Amino acid sequence: MRGLQNLGLGASRSGGSVSGLDISWDELKGRTYMARPHAVILGAGASLAAFPHGDRFGQILPLMNNLVEVLELASSIEAYGLDPSGNFEDTYSELASNLELADLRELVENRVVAYFSDLRLPDTPTIYDYMVLSLREKDYIATFNWDPFLYMACWRNSRVAPLPSTLYLHGCSVVGYCLEHRTMGHTGSKCSVCGTQFTPTRLLYPVRDKDYTADGFINAQWDSIQFVMQNAWLFTVFGYGAPASDAAAIKLLDDAWGGPDKRNLEEIEIIDIRPEDQLAESWSRFIHTHHYRATGDYFRSLLGTFPRRTGEAMWEQLMEARFLEYRSVPRFESLDALQEYMAAIASFESEGN
């Protein structure tokens, strides 16, 4: 992580006290003054980091470079005279633009929805459980992923503490919605206002020119993330590579963020295993001078170090020039233990604190 010692993240411990620090973690837990949101953007790399060996049943999480293989689509694609070994974005773009391939397009889309809908979280804690519990009600997580892991992590941790809002920028395999009343939930459930069964979200598939306004649900999700980005104090990018094929998405985020000159105080964090110079280049249009940090390890990120206090930690560190205690969240073997730990932190967040 860039500037570890300079940022006050390398102070030593002595017995039960912490030396060389202005604010210990126990002190920081009691500070809950930050009202501006922490915005987190998830790409495929986040789910891959959380589930490198697959889901609860060992089902592999498909990426664009192996989706055809994992979903066993090669023979069907070949039957229509297309090359199954080519780039899936190019293949799907052909399906979307050629009416004669409508049947193959429907087959591919149905297979994608069925596969992703069947993915399940393991019983043990995952990075997604840590992540949703490490943010507060004022915060937002927006994902480009089709998988159900973010939704499921929120569902099984919903009674532990107030959780962040979630946005599904490319749709989600298990999320439905009522556009009239702006409600959403698991597919098959009903709108709490009108009682109508939710409409399944339409997945936004990879095409050369994505239209984020054509679908009502996805358009509403983008309106929300743009509003959040305008007001965010912190912006974390986790496993999202800002691909050239998503130029429209990057422009929407960039327009909302306002560019480096307008964000000379806010901090950007990138969680990604790629070299730091590549990450800084990819996100340079968002970064003001040195106001960024990069790490390949979730547990060394702000979320993994200052759960539910990321905003306060960065204010104290950057604006008040105070040295903070750095310590990663414990790696719990049971979900109950993680939930108990996070609930204790959340107990400081009562009204008026």
- The distance from CA 159 to its chain's CA centroid, rounded to whole angstroms, is 20
Query: What per-residue confidence (pLDDT) applies to 56?
Result: 95
* Closest by Cα among 149, 123, 117, 107 to 56: 123
Coil/strand/helix, residue 177:
strand
Query: What per-residue confidence (pLDDT) applies to 351?
Result: 56
Question: Residue 156: is it exposed, middle or buried by C-beta count within 10 angstroms (0-12/13-18/19+)?
Answer: middle
Query: What single-letter DSSP state applies at residue 23?
Result: B
Coil/strand/helix, residue 165:
strand
Torsion angle defined by CA atoms of residues 47, 50, 56 and 62, in that order, rounded to the nearest 10 degrees: 30
* Closest by Cα among 339, 142, 338 to 238: 142
**Contact at 8 Å (CB) between 210 and 200?**
no
* Closest by Cα among 259, 271, 278 to 304: 271
Written as six digits, the tokens of 315 are 């204010």
Query: What per-residue confidence (pLDDT) applies to 13?
Result: 33
* Terminal-to-terminal C-alpha distance of the chain: 32
Phi-psi region of 58 (alpha: psi -120 to 50; beta: other; left: phi over 0): left
Q: What are the per-10-residue average pLDDT scores of the chain (353 residues)?
A: 34 40 90 96 94 94 90 93 84 89 94 95 97 98 96 97 97 94 92 93 83 91 95 93 77 85 82 85 76 89 97 93 91 97 94 53
Written as six digits, the tokens of 256 are 């909302």
**Contact at 8 Å (CB) between 146 and 206?**
no
CA distance 280 to 109: 35
Q: What residues form DSSP beta bridges with 293?
A: 269
